[in-house]
Structure 1
Amino acid sequence: MTNRRALTRRQVVAAGLGAAGALAAGGLPALAQGEAAQYPSKPIRIIVGFGPGGGNDILARIVAQKLSERLGQPALVENKPGAGAIIATEHVAKAAPDGYTLLVGATGAMTINPAVYSSLPYDTKRDFAPIAVIASFPLLLCVGAEAPVKSLAELVAYTKANPAKANYASSSAAFQLASELFKLRTGAPLQRISYKSSGEMLTAVVGGEVLTALVDAAPVAGHVKAGRIRVLAITSAERSPEYPDVPTMKEAGVPDLEIRLWSGLFAPAATPAAIVGKLEGEVSEILKLPDVRERLKGMGVDPGGGPARELADRIAAEIPRWTETAKAANIKLD
């Protein structure tokens, strides 16, 4: 009996050493590749930190539809709005790193929140595996079609003459920081009103609940075509082909307010590299599809793509830049 027990122990130890040797000899990459080959074997959740109808939600649904078609499993968009996308971002940071919970994270959550909040329940650079930039875009300064202003100069003059009616909509740190910079540059006495998505922001602008909003391009196009929104200026360096009659901020008299934001796809840190690589390749191919590019361009956003490393480098470069901008403007959100 004792000998059999001893033999069993020796067998277990030998088996363990054999497995360790196999891993050291390249077994782990082989296992990871096998895991990627089987991925996905169930639905994928794509978390968005804002409500339906906003720019990130629209982009997430475009990518989700194509991923579903290409991977043979549903990619389901799940909205978790609140706290400037902090709730959704934390959720994904703490999710199982298996490729089945992803995040559409934007400039606000990933690079501006670290600049304007003293503490966050996630670390952008530590807690996520970047996959790809989905799109980049400027912001549009919008008012409702019935608003009593038709230019940026008229908007600023109106807010100064009617401070009780001077307010702006915001759903994220990115929009808030951009709007606060606009206030600093123009002296417009605007007060912030918070919403859960850029879609809700635009609904409020159209309905006259708020006077104006600096908002991402994706959800604006439909309102402009329907005649519900008037765009007064754009934060890009040059005019947009989709809005050729809209002046840049500089042209409208507000220098030093060039802002370009982005949305990207992320997995939790420690997600197997083979799975991240597979998703990176799929998203890159999706963003090359003519119908996807046409749809994105029609919304005034530029398709992303490129290696995941570019997204990681962008985050590393932007956090100190936004921190410096927020400090210079004395903007802190907690």
Structure 2
Amino acid sequence: MTLHRRPFLLGAAALAAPAPLAAQGGWPSRPVRVIVPYAASGGTDILARAVGEALRPSLPQPIVVENRAGAAGVVGSEVVARAEPDGHTLLMVVSTHVMNRYHLPSMPFDPIRDFSPIAMLTRNTMVLVAGASQPFDSLRAMIEHAKRNPGRVGTGSTEALSSFIGQELARRAGVDMPDVAYRSGGQLMNDIVAGHLPTGWTSTVSAAPHMQTGRVRILAVSTGSRSAFFPEVPTAAEQGVAEFDLSGWVALLGPPRMDAALVAQIDGAVQRVFGDAAFQDRLRALGVERDFRPAPALLEAMQRDDRIWAAAAQAGHIRPQQ
């Protein structure tokens, strides 16, 4: 388990500071911990730190981001599931938080019932990346190469969703591409750049910093439409994998049984940040696709995903790890 703890300090480049929020019910009366249950330098970690920095001027207490990686996000999520519902311990997760119940052999909590939804933050479009030194420069060429070299073209993933996307693509294309698990998108991208990993599925946030180096190619996006960040990259469907359309999200959750008024207060503070034009510019620069939705819409999305993954598990397309 890795632990990185760093408070955000207001620097010269910070966004214009609005007046501090009135502390309803004493929140926050101490530093607010945002648990990111994945390793540092990945897309969720980058987003959490950007949100924390943007929130800092409007709150009377600092935001502290903690990386509690392990067990596909379960280690850090359990910390929040067992925390006091006072708004001082929050969780930022990707949509595999819901999918994990079908991917892992067991979990110490219910991913929906044991958390309070606060807000959906972003859409998580996944991209298929490869090093420029690899002997293929398109999805079609990669599939042909994998057919000629069965089992020798690994595809990296960082959590259940990217693992599922990689294996679902391989299944539909009729190729054997072993899943290679990483703890963060940053680590995956480092191995892509170095040529140690042939391909990998990761977020636009993890891929974006490497695109100016000339050492990384994006072969496809996971969604049914092209990404605004990489409009020149065709979708998997455009390259012959029919009806391939998979994406995730990043959301803010709290411990179970949070007071509705407190949830609304936190939701409102985050919504003001996401409505700020300067912050939206920063998200675009990071490769983050804004998709802010309040708590009721987040709960609906979580429940919808649960139905989708339950059906995929029943069909045998998701199998619990042994």
What is the match of residue 292 of structure 1?
A: 279
- Aligned equivalents of 1:256, 1:81: Cα separation in 2: 33
Higher helix share: 1
TM-score (norm 1): 0.85
CA distance in 1, matches of 2:151, 2:309: 30
**Is 1:82–2:74 an aligned residue pair?**
no
Deviations 1:109-143 (A, max 9, x none): 1x211233353111122111111111113110110
Gaps of 5+ in 2: 1-21
Q: Which residue identity does 2:61 align to in structure 1?
A: Q
CA distance 1:178–1:103, change in 2 (3 Å):
same
Structure 1 residue aligned with 2:53, among 65, 72, 76? 65
Query: Which structure has the bigger radius of gyration?
Result: 1
| 1:222 aligned residue | 209
Distance 2:73 2:297 in 1: 22
Distance in 1 between the 2:29 and 2:223 partners?
Answer: 42
Unaligned runs of 5+ in 1: 1-33
Match of 2:307 in 1: 320
Match of 1:50 among 38, 41, 48: 38
Aligned partner of 2:3 in structure 1 is none
Match of 2:161 in 1: 174
Map of 2:230 onto structure 1: 243
Q: How is 1:258-269 mapped onto 2 (pairs within 5 angstroms)? A: 258-269=245-256
List per-residue Cα deviations over 1:241-292 (Å, max 9, x = no partner).
Answer: 2212100111011113201210000110122222211110001111111122
Aligned match of 2:19: none
Q: Is the 8 A contact 2:151 2:176 kept in 1?
A: no
Does the CA contact (< 8 Å) of 2:151 and 2:178 recur in 1? Answer: no
Secondary structure of 2:125's counterpart equals strand
Structure 2 residue aligned with 1:283: 270
1:58-207 matched pairs, under 5 angstroms: 58-109=46-97, 111-163=98-150, 165-207=152-194
- 3-state SS of 2:122 partner: strand
| Alignment partners' CA distance in 1, 2:95 and 2:150 | 30
TM-score of the pair, normalised by structure 2:
0.89
Structure 1 residue 75, shift from structure 2 partner: 0.5
Question: Aligned residue pairs: how many?
Answer: 300
Secondary structure at 1:326 match in 2: helix
CA distance in 1, matches of 2:228, 2:125: 12
Write the distance in 2 (CA, Å) between the matches of 1:100 and 1:302: 27
Q: Give the AA of the match of 2:42.
A: G
Give the Cα–Cα distance (whole angstroms) in 1 for the partners of residues 181 and 154 of structure 2. Answer: 10
Moved more, 236-245 or 136-145: 236-245
